[in-house]
A = this chain, B = another copy of it.
Amino acid sequence: MTLKTLVLKRVKDAKIASRILAKASTRTKNNALEKMASNLKGKAGTIIRENKKDIKAARAAGLSKVMVDRLSLDKKRIEEMTASIDAVSRLKDPCGVIDKMWKRPNGLIIGKMRIPIGLIGIIYESRPNVTSDCAALCIKSGNAVMLKGGKESINSNLAIYKVLRDALKESGLPVDCISMVESVDRKVVTHLLEMDDYLDLIIPRGGEALIRMVTDKSKIPVIKHYKGVCHVYVDKEANLKKALKICINAKVQRPGVCNAMETLLVHRALAKDFLPKAIEALRQEGVEIRGCNRTRELADNVKKAKESDWYEEFLDLILAVKVVKDVDDAIEHISKYGSGHSDSIVTENYNISLKFLKEVDSACVYANASTRFTDGYQFGFGAEIGISTDKIHARGPMALKELTIYKYIIFGNGQIRK
């Protein structure tokens, strides 16, 4: 069997399974999720043993310590994976919900009903917990899932995958609701992205290069979870205490994630009062500052920010700082350099706050809060499959509801069109 034939077979089988899953009751789906969680716990030893093979290979290939850490599983991490699945099983089933229903003058009753999307392809990089996290979210939302993880974690992913499929079998759902191709050949991705007769949606999770490649090649709709070049703008009328607290939190609390601040914008009228203090406080937390000329006048030893720094998602303790003329200048900067993820204004001025909330075109726009809240749990959705930076279907935290679509159901009693 050629690789393409194998991929096609898997995709076809998963599509058939998706139709059965779409009809499954909430109870059946929750049952499967509970079994998935308990089986993962029960098989933790096997999974950790398989994970060791990946770690060994990664070290031999000279992967960085950070990369090896991302890849590693231990008992605690497996417990986190099972806790995630349990949390998903407790969430409300989005399928079958009627968003609204109305009656037309001719008597037709039209309802808008939430249903699963169908078969979703997840293309991701090294973290093996993505395997179980995404599988759980897809199953709960009634979607079959085709998983394609990075080659670095192939042994871990396969071990987790087997455990999850056993759970499906035990709960009476088709095992192909969760599918994977065992090969590490990169062509698997190319083949998947062309099978638009079977796959309904692709969600890539990973770095910019992966997402760009998937977007370029895919014939299937893609929802991008791109980079987060997030801004905090400290306005002329900011409360300085709040501003400082928010800036530190947005930059330092977890710098390696997409909702961390990458660029600080400060109103020029406030720069002299605020920036020296802010830079000192940030430096105490280990942050490297790259500033515009005005910033460099106001604080010592600030490296000059290059043009490319304004576009950069540092994912590290590095911050670009720019003094701006006013809120319009700040919005203009965000529009040009931002990634449409999360941006925040700190101000006590009512009208300026509303202007910023209205005019900044990002998935999440904040007034007087840290950008770090952009997250399915923090928004109250209970989970997320990622943060969409796209402008169709879903923006911001994508949770169960965003993994569904709707259909119209129409009740008539013989109506014909005149």
Enumerate chain B residues within 8 angstroms of A108, measured Cβ to Cβ. Answer: 369, 373
Residues on A lying within 8 angstroms of B by beta carbon are 19, 22-23, 102, 104, 108, 110, 115, 117-118, 196, 200-201, 215-216, 219, 221-223, 239, 241-242, 245-246, 248-250, 253, 335, 357-359, 361-370, 372-374, 378-380, 390-393, 395-396, 405-417
Contact A249 B365 (CB under 8 A): no
Contact A200 B391 (CB under 8 A): yes
Enumerate chain B residues within 8 angstroms of A223, measured Cβ to Cβ. Answer: 392
CA separation between A118 and B378, bound complex, in Å? 28
The listed residue with most B CB atoms (<10 A of its CB), out of A215, A241, A245, A416, is A416
14 A-B residue pairs with Cβ-Cβ distance under 8 Å, sorted by A, are: A241-B414, A246-B414, A364-B407, A364-B410, A365-B409, A367-B409, A368-B413, A369-B415, A369-B416, A373-B417, A374-B408, A393-B393, A395-B407, A396-B407
CA separation between A248 and B126, bound complex, in Å? 57
Instruction: Looking at the assembled complex, report how far the CB atom of A102 sits from the nearest CB atom of chain B, in whole angstroms.
Output: 7
Instruction: Looking at the assembled complex, report how far the CB atom of A331 sits from the nearest CB atom of chain B, in whole angstroms.
Output: 10
Contact A118 B391 (CB under 8 A): yes
- Nearest residue, chain B, Cβ from A19: B335
State whether A368 and B416 are in contact (beta carbons under 8 Å apart), knowing that A373-B108, A407-B362 are contacts in the complex.
no
Enumerate chain B residues within 8 angstroms of A219, measured Cβ to Cβ. Answer: 215-216
Instruction: Looking at the assembled complex, report how far the CB atom of A161 sits from the nearest CB atom of chain B, in whole angstroms.
Output: 25
Instruction: Looking at the assembled complex, report how far the CB atom of A362 sits from the nearest CB atom of chain B, in whole angstroms.
Output: 7
- Nearest residue, chain B, Cβ from A379: B110
Residue in contact with A417 in the complex, picked from B102, B249, B367, CB distance below 8 Å: B249
- Nearest residue, chain B, Cβ from A418: B253
Instruction: Looking at the assembled complex, report how far the CB atom of A282 sits from the nearest CB atom of chain B, in whole angstroms.
Output: 14
- Nearest residue, chain B, Cβ from A241: B414
Enumerate chain B residues within 8 angstroms of A393, measured Cβ to Cβ. Answer: 392-393, 405
CA separation between A108 and B392, bound complex, in Å? 25
Contact B335 A366 (CB under 8 A): no
State whether A391 and B361 are in contact (beta carbons under 8 Å apart), knowing that A215-B196, A367-B410 are contacts in the complex.
no
